[in-house]
Amino acid sequence: MDNAIFVQYGHFMKKIAIIIDNISNKAGTERAVSNLTNGLISFYPKAYDITIISIFTNPTETSFYELNSSIKIIHLNKKEGFKLYNKIFWYNSFIKNIKSINNEYLFDVLMGTTYVHNILLPIICKKTSTKMIGCEHVTYHYPSKLIQKIRNYVYKRLDSLVVLSEEEQKFFNKLSNTFVIPNSLPFDSKIKSNQNNKTIIAVGRLTHQKGFSDLIHIFEKIHSVFRDWQLIIFGEGEEYNHLLSIIENKNLTKVIKIHKNVQNISDFYQKSSIFAQTSYTESFGLALLEAMNHGLAVISYENEGAKKLIKPNINGLLVTLFDKDDYEKKLIQLIESKNFRFELANQAIESTSIYKEINIIPLWNKHIHSIIKKA
Q: State pLDDT tens for residues 289-307.
A: 999 999 999 999 999 999 9
**Is 50 in the same domain as 144?**
yes
* Shared domain check, 203 and 333: yes
Query: How crowded is residue 139: how many other Cβ atoms within 10 Å of its Cβ?
Result: 23
**C-alpha to C-alpha distance for 242 and 245, rounded to whole angstroms:** 5
Domain of 274, in residue numbers = 199-355
> Residue 218 belongs to a domain with what CATH number?
3.40.50.2000
For residue 321, tell me if it sits in a domain: yes
275 and 366 in a common domain: no
Residue-by-residue pLDDT tens, the chain, 375 positions: 444 344 555 557 999 999 999 999 988 899 999 999 999 999 999 999 999 999 999 999 999 999 999 999 999 999 876 665 678 888 999 999 999 999 999 999 999 999 999 999 999 999 999 999 999 998 888 889 999 999 999 999 999 999 999 989 999 989 999 999 999 998 889 999 999 999 999 999 999 999 999 999 999 999 999 999 999 999 999 999 999 999 999 999 999 999 999 989 999 999 999 999 999 999 888 999 999 999 999 999 999 999 999 999 999 999 999 999 999 999 999 999 999 999 999 999 999 999 999 999 999 999 999 999 986
- 189 part of a folded domain: no
pLDDT tens-digit profile of 236-267? Answer: 999 999 999 999 999 999 999 999 999 899 99
Q: What pLDDT is attached to residue 178?
A: 96
Are 312 and 364 in a shared domain?
no
Backbone angles phi, psi at 22, to 5 degrees: -150, 105
What is the Cα 47 distance to its own chain's centre? 25
Q: Is 344 exposed, middle or buried (0-12, 13-18, 19+ CB in 10 A)?
A: buried
Distance CA 148, CA 249 (A): 40
Burial of 183 (0-12, 13-18, 19+ CB in 10 A): buried
56 part of a folded domain: yes
pTM of the full structure: 0.90
Closest CA relative to residue 300, chosen from 315, 281, 279: 279
Contact 280, 211 (CB under 8 A): yes
Bridge partners, residue 18, by sequence = 52, 111
Residues 208 and 288 in one domain: yes
In whole angstroms, give the CA distance from residue 248 to residue 308.
35
Q: What are the C-alpha distances in Å from 242 to residues 208, 245, 249?
A: 10, 5, 11
Pair 310, 215 in one domain: yes
Domain annotation covers residue 330:
yes
Residues 233 and 153 in one domain: no
Q: Are residues 159 and 247 in the same domain?
A: no
Question: Is 173 contained in some domain?
Answer: yes
Q: How far apart are CA 268 and CA 291, in angstroms?
A: 10
Residues in the chain: 375
Same domain, 72 and 118: yes
C-alpha angle 331/337/341, rounded to 5°? 75
Tell me: do 212 and 300 sit in the same domain: yes
Q: Does any domain span residue 62?
A: yes
Three-state secondary-structure class, residue 213: helix
The number of folded domains in the chain is 2
The total of other beta-carbon atoms located within 10 Å of residue 142's CB is: 14
DSSP string of 101-131? HHHHH--SEEEESSHHHHHHHHHHTTTS--E
Backbone angles phi, psi at 297, to 5 degrees: -80, 130
Specify whether 36 is located in the same domain as 147. Answer: yes
Same domain for 363 and 341: no
Strand order in the sheet with 230-234: 256-259, 230-234, 199-203, 274-277, 297-301, 317-319
Residue 239, SS3 per DSSP: coil
Measure the CA–CA gap between 121 and 107, rounded to whole angstroms.
13
Alpha helices in the chain (DSSP H): 28-43, 87-105, 115-124, 145-154, 166-171, 212-225, 240-249, 265-270, 286-293, 304-309, 324-336, 338-351, 357-373
Half-sphere exposure of 234 (CA within 13 A, CB side): 23
DSSP string, 162-179: EESSHHHHHHTTT-S-EE
DSSP string, 71-96: -EEEE--PPSS--GGGHHHHHHHHHH
